[in-house]
Amino acid sequence: MTGNRRVAIVTGSSKGIGAAIAMRLASDGFAVVVNYSSSAGPANDVVAAIEAHGGAAIAIRANVSESASVSLSFDGAREAFGGIDTVVNNAGIMQLSRIADTSDELWQKTLAINLTGTFNGMREAARRLRDGGRIINFSSSVVGLYQPSYAAYAATKSAIEAMTHIVAKELGSREITVNTVAPGPVGTDLFLYEKSDEQVANIAKMSPLGRIGEPNDIASVVSFLAGPDSSWINGQVIRANGGVV
């Protein structure tokens, strides 16, 4: 179906940073699997936008916290496009709470989606990627800020960084690189939720560049890591944050 076109799976790519990544990789020549967890509408919109620009994409529903669901999404990618070259483990949630107020439900949900979801994606990628492929994970620059209310979220992202370093060593013999992108504040619904304009302005001032990031800023970093010019970048965490930390 795709000839020599490379194939990428992008988890959580129906909106926000994930959607920007899916569309950027499609413009780079990838056939893209747009993963979503619940609402098909936004995912289909991303597919339509990619196809309108001459790209190839399909939407596949998968709950990243369930290994069987992730495995089926890889099956779908191979059936549609013949193989998989890049996996971007972008799906995640950020629900903030001080440790004393963090419920068991919130803790388990954060672990399931952010950490187990990334683990499932990495494990399936390690088994199925073609040699010379790319695994690109997502952490966050809050890992180094140690801010109140971020304990559960930052804990999952720190663990993702640790797995990145290890799996990069495990897959090096197949010339598969494993890296992590750790964005700073980015103007998405996830970040802007329940923040006032004043709060956003104050956060923007933390950056020497005087602004918060945009989804395309992060998509550009992923594009580099997924491309041929990044072949010597492996086991790294790239803090794409405009100099916030």
- In Å, what is the CA distance from 234 to each residue of 20, 129, 130? 23, 16, 17
Cβ neighbours of residue 233 closer than 8 Å, sequence gap 6 or more? 177, 179, 225
Residue 94 sits at φ, ψ, to 5 deg, of -140, 95
Does residue 36 have an active-site annotation? no
- In the set 146, 150, 153, 193, the catalytic residue is 153
Q: Which residues are catalytic, by number?
A: 153
